[in-house]
Amino acid sequence: MRRLRNVKIVATLGPASETYDMIRALHEAGADVFRLNMSHGTHEEIREKHRIIRQVEKELQSPIAILADLQGPKLRVGVFANGSEELVPGAPFRLDLDPAEGDLNRVCLPHPEIFQALKEGARLLVNDGKIRLKVESCGDDHANCIVETGGTISNRKGVNVPDVVLPLAALSEKDRDDLEFACGLGVDWLALSFVQRPEDVNEARKLAQGRAAILSKIEKPSAVDAFDEILAVSDGIMVARGDLGVELPVSAVPPIQKRLVRKCRVAAKPVIVATQMLESMIDSPMPTRAEVSDVSGAIYEGADAVMLSAESAAGSYPIEAVSTMHEVAVEVENDPTYRQVIEASRSAPRSTVADAIVAAAREVAETTEVAAICCFSQSGTTALLIARERPRVPIIAMTSLRGTARRLSLSWGTNCVITNEVNRFKMAVVASSRAATELGYATAEDQIVVTAGLPFNVAGSTNILRVAPCDERLIFNMENE
């Protein structure tokens, strides 16, 4: 399904978008990737959504990526005798392991690992940061705090601990079960929550055993601090601005977003910008101007994808939300300033043969009359390298592996075509020329750039480039050479 934009759209499925008609309409409106939130719904409900997505994919002959988002460990306070209490700034408040019901002075925090890591001066944020507590003293089973920001605290509200690295694995027992279930279904990407260190990603990768690519969600200050190491072991990144904005000053999030997107581009790894992008469209058919500017900013930065959460999962206007993102993307990418920004932020070429080939492909495409860049890529690496270049012409990724085509659906500007295996470069050129014309990326009068690796079907072997015609007669002659 040809898009008139390069940035991809991720749409979360939920109660408002779980039927065949809605999922198909969302894909036709512009959703390239569907997110299955493992925090909500039973395995059977998730299995049914997966089945419908694959049915739509088959009917429309359009590769679709499925992203399973693991919940991660949830840290919550216990319950209160009165259901809730009103905390006043400056008042003392104690968190401990005592399971007794809480009151105005204390409540249970049933997570001993938090007390093991806490230190004097550390902050605890309750209910998405609406309540802020500062640790005055602590032990293995308690923390005596002062209320810095007061408010209503009630049963089982979430707790964030931004100032310390917690001795917690990113994968809970539920996450392990969900990971195995999602990999068994055949999802393309696994989003890993609560990442604090590269070891968290390595653990998920070991469990996935190559059945899905690993995307790390950056939502904690410790993940920002260790980002280079986390990026090195991840296949992709999600900038989860909601939790980042809770654990860090909100003013720090925009520059962090820009830095992380830039580093992902340099590493040729897909990056999603997520959370509250069009949140007003949960209840309104129109976004705010600020939200449109937010989406535009992520696109100008060169993000691979922008994501809808509750807007498409539980909102009243899921199709309108996807359509709005699509329209904003088309408008931004047609702005001459967009190309200036993208090209000014392009990284210097690296030193491998593959890097040189893809840089040359982009250069040829931009200095001659070339309609598209076609690359043969079994692992997807070549397509990711070309996407890193952010060329002005369409990228057509040719692969015989359906899984590779689906995973690349998350990558900037990549249009995936599933083709037969080829073992000669001439046949790769023939297949590329036909795909470019049949899909409307080129006419018979156009030329395309074709890249591939010899020998074929060996990951990381990109070493050849050719400018080829799209004329059917010339293609026929090549076939009979």
- Residues labelled catalytic: 35, 76, 217, 275
Closest CA to 26 of 53, 45, 63: 53
**Could you tell me if 9 and 1 are in contact, meaning their C-beta atoms sit under 8 angstroms apart?**
no
Separation CA 176–CA 170 (nearest Å):
10
Separation CA 216–CA 207 (nearest Å):
15
To which residue do tokens 């952010």 refer?
A: 390
Q: Is 380 left (phi over 0), alpha (psi -120 to 50) or beta?
A: left
Question: Is the previous residue joined to 394 through a cis bond, with omega within 30 degrees of 0?
Answer: no
**Could you tell me if 8 and 410 are in contact, meaning their C-beta atoms sit under 8 angstroms apart?**
yes
Separation CA 221–CA 386 (nearest Å):
31
To which residue do tokens 């995307």 refer?
A: 215
In the chain, the N- to C-terminal Cα span, in Å, equals: 33
| Residue 211: alpha-carbon gap to chain centroid | 17
Give the angle subtended at the CA of 125 by the CAs of 119 and 129, to the nearest 5°. 155
